[in-house]
């Protein structure tokens, strides 16, 4: 890790970077982007937030209007995960690590791709769509679900008010014994199109977020021949550990860049037989919790649809809870949202627990993850600015 990053990320920066509400995060982002000389634009959302505030995707950019390369940093695709992604963006602007001048490249920060979910503390959007399952390629149908998900619907999406005590862990243990962890994870988290009030609903057409992204992303990248896109997420993997997840097959040049820039244990490529055989036991165990194939991911969409050159996308994933514990919190929050009354103590508690699951209060977790994220960003900025 860069000594410069280590020096800049102290407890004061950590405290300033993390916000408690969407409006606080948006205000900090806008203020710091303006103070640092960024060109700031916004895409208004048609709804208001859960605290009555206006919502928007905010975009700040620096550098060349005709760049050789663009580094795009996005947050909040999964709503509540935006509390961490926003903190990374704010920390970059607050830390003094932003270069004074970018001659050959462009830096773009996209804040809150799913602003409604961010404001309301949900992973999903106002239509309950998981926005990172919604980016289907042209010609693909928004239909179908894993057969095992159908069988699990009553377990995943109870149609009743939640109780403080439930049998979730007993049922989950029995299901793991019956089907195995990996098949369950694949069936549950990969995305489904048939249960609009269910977890990981991929929608029945393009989401508001997809429409806005598709309309603006080439403008954000300035049609650079080379794009590196880091999209910040939390929840999967060992607590505090960061991994760069690629859900597509990169080109040879893109793979070489990732392997040159990052440590092997930091990267998870699409698994092949050879990569599986070469992985160490430690790496294999670490990757196990984050490896499943999701439909409609933004990374595959960007990599296959970008018409101007190379698009190297990575989901920058930072671990928090074990997947089974995370699933319980997602289930409780979703159950409360659809089947409990607004303002109930149960619903508020489930909301708080989901927030803490995706953005832990631990100062150690926050400092460690910010340091890792800023290290990845500063390394990439330096390399892209200097590369021919």
Q: What is the CATH number of the domain that holds 297?
A: 3.40.630.10
User: Residue 7 — very low, low, confident or very high, per pLDDT cuts 50/70/90?
Assistant: confident
- Structure pTM? 0.94
Please say if the pLDDT value at position 180 is more than 70: yes
The mean pLDDT of 191-219, rounded to a whole number, is 98
Give the phi and the psi of residue 308 in degrees, each rounded to 5. Answer: -110, 0
In a domain, 185, yes or no: no
In a domain, 184, yes or no: no
- Percent of the chain past pLDDT 70, that is, above it, reads 93
Please tell me the predicted confidence (pLDDT) of residue 17: 98
The three-class DSSP label of residue 205 is coil
Counted residue by residue, the chain has a size of 388
Please tell me the predicted confidence (pLDDT) of residue 286: 47
The mean pLDDT of 17-24, rounded to a whole number, is 98
Cβ pair 319, 238 in contact under 8 A: yes
Residue with tokens 């793979």: 255
In a domain, 195, yes or no: yes
In a domain, 342, yes or no: no
The mean pLDDT of 216-220, rounded to a whole number, is 96
Query: Between these two residues, 2 and 320, which has the higher pLDDT value?
Result: 320
User: Residue 274 — very low, low, confident or very high, per pLDDT cuts 50/70/90?
Assistant: very low
Query: Between these two residues, 8 and 146, which has the higher pLDDT value?
Result: 146
**Rounded CA gap, 100 and 78, in Å?**
31
In a domain, 312, yes or no: yes
Please tell me the predicted confidence (pLDDT) of residue 3: 56
In a domain, 73, yes or no: yes
- Specify which residues 310 forms β-bridges with: 226
DSSP readout, 167-192?
A: -HHHHHHHHHHHH-HHHHHHHHHS-B
* pLDDT (tens digit per residue) in 109-132: 999 999 999 999 999 999 999 999
Please say if the pLDDT value at position 53 is more than 60: yes
Please tell me the predicted confidence (pLDDT) of residue 271: 57
Q: Structural domain tally of the chain? A: 1
Please say if the pLDDT value at position 216 is more than 90: yes
Range of the domain at 295: 3-145+191-320+359-386
Give the phi and the psi of residue 267 in degrees, each rounded to 5. Answer: -115, 140
Please tell me the predicted confidence (pLDDT) of residue 277: 38
In a domain, 346, yes or no: no
Cβ pair 208, 131 in contact under 8 A: no
Please tell me the predicted confidence (pLDDT) of residue 288: 52
Please tell me the predicted confidence (pLDDT) of residue 387: 78
* pLDDT (tens digit per residue) in 54-82: 999 999 999 999 999 999 999 999 999 99
In a domain, 290, yes or no: yes
Please tell me the predicted confidence (pLDDT) of residue 273: 36
Please tell me the predicted confidence (pLDDT) of residue 162: 84
Please say if the pLDDT value at position 291 is more than 90: no
User: Residue 91 — very low, low, confident or very high, per pLDDT cuts 50/70/90?
Assistant: very high
Query: Between these two residues, 101 and 304, which has the higher pLDDT value?
Result: 304
User: Residue 292 — very low, low, confident or very high, per pLDDT cuts 50/70/90?
Assistant: confident
231 burial type by CB count under 10 A (0-12 exposed, 13-18 middle, 19+ buried): buried
Out of 38-47, 110-119, 280-289, 323-332, least confident range:
280-289
Residue with tokens 């009030």: 197
Please tell me the predicted confidence (pLDDT) of residue 280: 47
For all residues of the chain together, what is the average pLDDT?
A: 93
* pLDDT (tens digit per residue) in 139-168: 999 999 999 999 999 999 999 988 878 899
């Amino acid at each position: 890790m860069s000594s410069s990053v280590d020096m800049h990320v102290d407890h004061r920066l950590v405290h300033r970077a993390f916000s408690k509400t969407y409006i606080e995060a948006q205000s900090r982002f806008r203020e710091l982007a303006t103070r640092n000389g960024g060109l700031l634009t916004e895409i208004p959302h048609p709804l208001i937030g859960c605290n009555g505030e206006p919502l928007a995707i905010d975009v700040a950019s620096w550098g060349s209007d005709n760049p050789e390369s663009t580094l795009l940093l996005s947050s909040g695709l999964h709503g509540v995960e935006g509390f961490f992604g926003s903190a990374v963006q704010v920390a970059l602007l607050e830390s003094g690590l932003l270069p004074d001048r970018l001659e050959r490249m462009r830096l773009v920060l996209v804040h809150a791709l799913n602003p409604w979910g961010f404001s309301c503390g949900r992973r999903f959007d106002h239509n309950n769509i998981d926005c990172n399952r919604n980016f289907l390629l042209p010609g693909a149908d928004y239909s179908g679900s894993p057969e095992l998900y159908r069988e699990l619907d009553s377990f995943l999406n109870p149609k009743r008010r939640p109780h403080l005590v439930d049998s979730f862990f007993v049922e989950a243990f029995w299901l793991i014994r019956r089907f195995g962890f990996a098949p369950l994870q694949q069936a549950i988290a990969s995305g489904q199109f048939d249960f609009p009030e269910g977890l990981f609903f991929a929608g029945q057409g393009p989401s508001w977020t997809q429409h806005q992204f598709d309309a603006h992303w080439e403008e954000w990248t300035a049609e650079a021949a080379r794009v590196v896109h880091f999209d910040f997420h939390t929840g999967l993997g060992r607590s505090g550990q960061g991994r760069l997840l690629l859900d597509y097959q990169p080109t040879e040049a893109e793979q070489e860049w990732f392997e040159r820039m990052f440590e092997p244990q930091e990267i998870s490529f699409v698994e092949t037989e050879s990569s599986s055989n070469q992985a160490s036991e430690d790496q294999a165990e670490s990757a196990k919790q984050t490896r499943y194939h999701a439909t409609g991911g933004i990374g595959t969409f960007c990599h296959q649809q970008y018409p101007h050159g190379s698009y190297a996308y990575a989901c920058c994933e930072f671990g928090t809870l074990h997947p089974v514990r995370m699933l319980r919190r997602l289930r409780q929050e979703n159950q409360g949202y659809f089947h409990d009354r607004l303002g109930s103590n149960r619903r508020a508690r489930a909301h708080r627990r989901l927030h803490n699951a995706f953005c832990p209060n631990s100062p150690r977790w926050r400092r460690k993850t910010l340091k890792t994220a800023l290290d990845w960003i500063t390394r990439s900025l330096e390399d892209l600015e200097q590369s021919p």
